[in-house]
Amino acid sequence: MAITRIYLDDDALRRTMAISGVHTEQDAVNLALRYFTTHATAADLEHPIHTRAASA
């Protein structure tokens, strides 16, 4: 596992922890990343979400 220093949205982090029931920030971030990548589609790989939002 990689150690990465990142700045997080405190509100989004608190909500993720409350919804998921995890107790650490690390677990919340890992869970969110797993959830996001599990629900990605082939279209997301071809046209990443951030590029679709910019062109909308």
Residue 55 has a pLDDT of 60
List the domain boundaries for the chain: 7-40
pTM greater than 0.75 (yes/no): no
Amino acid (one-letter) located at 26: Q
**Residues 9-54 pLDDT 10s:** 999 999 999 999 999 999 999 999 999 989 888 887 788 777 766 6
Residue with tokens 């046209």: 47
pLDDT exceeds cutoff 60 at 56:
no
d(Cα 16, Cα 28) in Å, to the nearest integer?
6
Question: Between vectors from CA 35 to CA 21 and to CA 49, what angle results, nearest 5°?
Answer: 135
CA-based end-to-end distance of the chain: 36
User: Which residues does 17 contact at the CB level (< 8 Å), separation at least 6?
Assistant: 23, 25, 28
